[in-house]
Amino acid sequence: MTARTQRSFGDRAVLYWSAMLETLNPATGEVLATFPVHGSREVEAAVAQAREAAVWWAGLGWSGRRIRLLAWKSHLTRYMARLAQLVHDETGKPLDDAKLEIILAIVHIDWAARHARRVLRPRRVRSGLAAINQASTVEYHPLGVVGVIGPWNYPFTNGVGDAIPALAAGNAVIHKPSSVTPMTALLMDEALRECGLPDDIFQVLVGRGPIGLTLIDQVDMVMFTGSTETGKKVMERAAKTLTPVSLELGGKDPMIVLADADLDRSANAAVFWSMQNGGQTCISVERVYVEEPIYEEFVAMVAERVRALRQGVPGDFGSVEVGSFTNPPQIEIVEAHVADAVAKGARVLAGGQRLQTDGTFFEPTVLAGVDHTMACMTEETFGPTLPIMKVRDADEAIKLANDTPYGLQASVYTKDIAKGEAVARRIQAGAVVVNDANANYIALEAPMGGWKQSGLGVRHGAEGIRKYCRRQTIVLTRFAMKKDLYFFPYGKGKSEFLVRLLKLLYGRGARD
């Protein structure tokens, strides 16, 4: 690591094409470290070593792997403060948000350690009459080497975190963190060795997009979390080798507040779920639709709460609610969305400006009087902004909520739970939460994955582990006679008998 120096973000662009990569504290502009960028030779070597290690790891069996996963969990629990501090330094997020990342990983390892065995146990499959002579079992085998490519907004939860189920399923993992946040991943690499895992079971490749592409060519599966734009490139590249991909992509999560909602809870939730982590969460509330009778009151309550938020260079726990951008260029998208909204008639009720500091900060911002001609309502903003739109009724809110290429998450607020559920079912999103927003992320039993252009596949739940496996169906013949009826030679009588039998078994339709 280099000595700590100050460097402006402009200099960073020059470094983009160099063979070195710099990590900054985006809240202060301080350079934290420089790393050499890995090249295609390092990718090849890493994959070859991971292949060997994967055989050993899979051969350990579930009990052997479980002991090491539990050691990892204890390690994270013991060193939570150190890890959270590093995430906080590297991302500019409050320590309170950084700590949450480590907690989510601990809970996830715990879940995998308790459930992976059951989830991966061979499953007997009952067949219909046509296959009465067959006894089938589905077995799950590790894929081998999984490439986990992660984003900068949750370097721990979405980078290291996706290694958890892949490792639990018996694979080796090569993690390519975002070039903006490689330090967290490198520390995890060290930690896993301290927990008794051999060097090559979890490896980290430092670099930008091109390294990701090289990795895709060589691994057995790609778990990608990032933007929809990059996700499409990942899928295109993986198609060349028919490598399976799981994609967790961008979103534009709507929140719907119905007229009978508890206004205090809705306003508090809107503020928290839009501003937590500086709005840089894939499942942040990005836009709100409020029924006409409560619109003005709701907007006033939200604006008052947002104006009370404290922002600045995060210090100890509880020092600020909103930190800086983790990826400094992101501020330009946020500024453009706010400027576009204002130019088209939106009112800024809180914030609205970039802060003039060494770090990259944008004030927590509330926009009212917005509509779907504005980018802030249709494109992912990924920053501390909350545009709030008035709607006639629930039908209009649902129509607008679905008017997006994304379908990651959504939330509905009402005191009438049955109505909330009914609205939830009409929203095109992988998860819809009634009277809360991202809460499902900790319900690890339930699958989470985007619809439409928000992703492909799921994380969490049984499928979140099984996706890291090859399925193999083993079929046993119950009564292995010399010849089955349908074997050669064909004959008229035999075929007519089979047709009659088929009609008898399947020919009856549903009764009117």
Residues 68-87 as b/e (b if ≥16 CB within 10 A, e otherwise) read bbebbbebbeebbeebbebb
Radius of gyration of the chain (CA): 26
Q: Which long-range contacts (CB under 8 A, 24 or more apart) does 456-464 make?
A: 456/231, 456/235, 456/245, 456/246, 456/247, 457/245, 457/246, 457/247, 457/248, 458/246, 458/430, 459/162, 459/165, 459/246, 459/248, 462/115, 462/119, 464/165
Interacting residue with ligand NAD among 162, 248, 291, 379 (CB under 6 A): 248
Q: Applying CB under 6 A, what is the total number of residues that bind ligand NAD?
A: 30
**On the CB side of 214, how many CA atoms lie within 13 Å of its CA?**
18
Q: Does 298 bind ligand NAD (CB under 6 A)?
A: no
Contact 413, 271 (CB under 8 A): no
The single residue among 178, 218, 276, 360 that binds ligand NAD, judged by CB under 6 A, is 178
* Other Cβ atoms closer than 10 A to 52: 12
Listed ranges 25-33, 126-134, 146-154, 492-500: which one lies at the site for ligand NAD (CB under 6 A): 146-154
Q: At what angle do helices 417-425 and 394-401 cross, to 10 degrees?
A: 40
Min dist CB 213 to ligand NAD, Å, is 4
458 lies in the site for ligand NAD, by CB under 6 A: no
Residues 369-398 that bind ligand NAD (CB under 6 A): 380, 382
Q: 282, 286, 291, 380: which one is catalytic?
A: 282
Shortest distance, position 468 Cβ to ligand NAD, whole Å: 16
Residue 168: CB minimum distance to ligand NAD, A: 19
Does residue number 184 form part of the binding site for ligand NAD (CB under 6 A)? no
Q: Is the CB of residue 26 less than 8 Å from the CB of residue 327?
A: yes
Catalytic residue flag (residue 248): yes
Q: Is 472 helix (H, G, I), strand (E, B) or coil?
A: strand
| Residue from 23, 25, 49, 179 in contact with ligand NAD (CB under 6 A) | 179
44 in active site: no
* Nearest residue to 286 (alpha-carbon basis) of 240, 251, 332: 251
Binding status of residue 150 toward ligand NAD by CB under 6 A:
yes
Q: Which of 91, 153, 218, 385 binds ligand NAD (CB under 6 A)?
A: 153
For residues 53 and 200, the answer to whether their CB atoms sit within 8 Å is yes
Check binding of 105 to ligand NAD (CB under 6 A): no
Residue 233 touches ligand NAD, criterion: CB under 6 A:
yes
**Which of these ranges, 173-181, 184-192, 297-305, 357-365, lies near ligand NAD under the rule CB under 6 A?**
173-181
Q: Is 457 in the site for ligand NAD (CB under 6 A)?
A: no
Does position 188 interact with ligand NAD (CB under 6 A)? The reply is no
* Region near ligand NAD per CB under 6 A, out of 46-54, 183-191, 226-234, 383-391: 226-234
Q: In what order do the strands lie in the sheet with 455-456?
A: 202-204, 172-176, 145-149, 221-225, 245-248, 455-456
- Please pick, among 90, 248, 291, 321, the residue that the annotation labels catalytic: 248
- Cβ atoms within 10 Å of 221's Cβ, excluding its own: 23
Q: With CB under 6 A as the contact rule, which of the stretches 104-112, 138-146, 228-236, 395-403 interacts with ligand NAD?
A: 228-236
* Contact indicator for 184, 151 with CB cutoff of 8 Å: no
Which residues would be at the binding site for ligand NAD (CB under 6 A)? 149-154, 158, 176, 178-179, 208-209, 212-213, 225-227, 230, 233-234, 248-251, 282, 380, 382, 408, 450, 455
Residues involved in catalysis: 248, 282
